[in-house]
Amino acid sequence: MGTPDRLAATPSQQTSETRLEPLSGRHVVVTRPAEQAAHLAAAVGQAGGVAVLFPVLAIHDIDDPRPILELAARLDEFDLVVFVSPNAVTKALALMARQRPWPAGLRVAAMGQTSERELARCGISEVIAPRLRFDSEALLELPEMRDMAGKRVLVLRGDSGRDLLGDTLTERGATVEYATCYRRGKPDADSAPLLQLWALHQLDAIVITSSEGLRNLVEMLGVAGRELLNDTPLFAPHARIVAEARTLGLSRVVPTAPGDEGLMAGLIAYFSGLQGAPGEHPEAASREASEGTSAHHGT
């Protein structure tokens, strides 16, 4: 008798391996900007998956840094500085550091865990931030953001975005200034590697974290990739992204809880569902995992 190339795992071993590596062998496309993809890509790898990096947003420096440098000189005038994204943290603080250290005691707010991590990396650890949802609405619900009469607020953001935060703070009595510290664009990337993975039946999931990025993805894939995209589960941590996907005609959309942790929980629940009870659809498992959180999404 010949020796088998690999030993068959017992049911208990299979269960253990599935538990340890719930994304074993799954190719997951991570579409975050290149500068913010590492944390989620590492989490996919730790769960046994293969992270395929395909940024759908490019982050560019602003053409003229002088307005940010001038703001750095005036930071002591403000009561609160709000960073709307990790890119705002990275780009603004890199420019402001040329001018001066960050003022001790200046209050800082951010909308998500990725921004908090970036602020901590830059030496700013006391941050006003929501814990359950990562968006303007959630930030505005915090007690620290309610009594704003007479406060001066600086909002650091990209070259476009909603004005809800500033408008609401103004209604609450604050004086708000906006500053653009980076530009967003569509990357000039080759979609051939994704098309090849699809052709080999090795592209299992796509994670999308912004509506703008989703529109870019559809354009970048072109006609050849559009049908393939529609046949691939698309994991979205926000109700507005889910709505945008459905507007674009995409049907296999899996809502998740917010942030990288929510995305990972959604991915694991979905693909664990493939190993679950016979006839159980994995998307049902994912909906169960995010029940009670997806209804609260909003950026």
Q: What pLDDT digit, counting tens, does each position of 178-204 carry?
A: 999 999 999 999 999 999 999 999 999
Which among 32, 11, 50, 42 is positioned nearest to 271, based on CA atoms? 50
pLDDT in tens, 139-152: 999 999 999 999 99
Q: Which of 249, 259, 283, 270 is nearest to 43 (CA)?
A: 259
Report which of 40, 65, 295 is spatially closest to residue 180, judged by C-alpha positions. Answer: 65
Same domain, 261 and 147: no
When pLDDT is averaged across residues 78-84 and rounded to a whole number, the result is 97
Confidence of residue 214 (pLDDT cuts 50, 70, 90): very high
Q: With bands split at pLDDT 50, 70 and 90, how would you rate the model's confidence at 274?
A: low
Residue percentage of the chain with pLDDT more than 90: 72
| 220 contact partners, CB below 8 Å, separation of at least 6 | 56, 186, 187, 189, 191
Q: Give the range among 26-35, 245-254, 273-282, 287-296 with minimum mean pLDDT.
A: 287-296
Average pLDDT over residues 60-72: 95
Q: Are 186 and 163 in contact (CB under 8 A)?
A: no
Of residues 254 and 259, more confidently modeled: 254
pLDDT, tens only, 5-41: 333 333 444 444 446 789 999 999 999 998 889 999 9
51 and 64 in a common domain: no
The CA dihedral of 148, 114, 283, 292, to the nearest 10 degrees, is -30
Same domain, 193 and 50: yes
Asked whether residue 165 falls in the same domain as residue 246, the answer is: no
Residue 97: CATH number of its domain: 3.40.50.10090
Q: What pLDDT is stored for residue 280 in this prediction? A: 38
The pLDDT value recorded for residue 114 is 84
pLDDT of 35 reads 84
- Residue 19 pLDDT: 60
pLDDT confidence of residue 102:
94
| CA–CA distances in Å: residue 287 to residues 46, 136, 195, 242, 264 | 23, 24, 28, 13, 13
Residues 52 and 113 in one domain: no
In terms of average pLDDT, the best of 83-92, 156-165, 221-230 is: 83-92
State whether 52 and 146 are in the same domain. no
Average pLDDT for 45-58: 96
Assigned token pair, 69? 């440098």
pLDDT for 294 beyond 60: no
* pLDDT value at 259 more than 60: yes
Q: Is the pLDDT of residue 111 over 80?
A: yes
Say whether both 170 and 99 belong to one domain. yes
In a domain, 202, yes or no: yes
Range of the domain at 227: 16-57+189-296
| 268 & 197 share domain | yes
Q: What b/e sequence results for 167-184 when a residue is b if at least 16 CB atoms lie within 10 Å of its CB, and e otherwise?
A: ebbeebebebeebbbbbb
Cα separation, 196 vs 274, whole angstroms: 24
64 & 132 share domain = yes
- Give me the mean pLDDT over the 192-221 stretch: 95
Our count of domains for the chain comes to 2
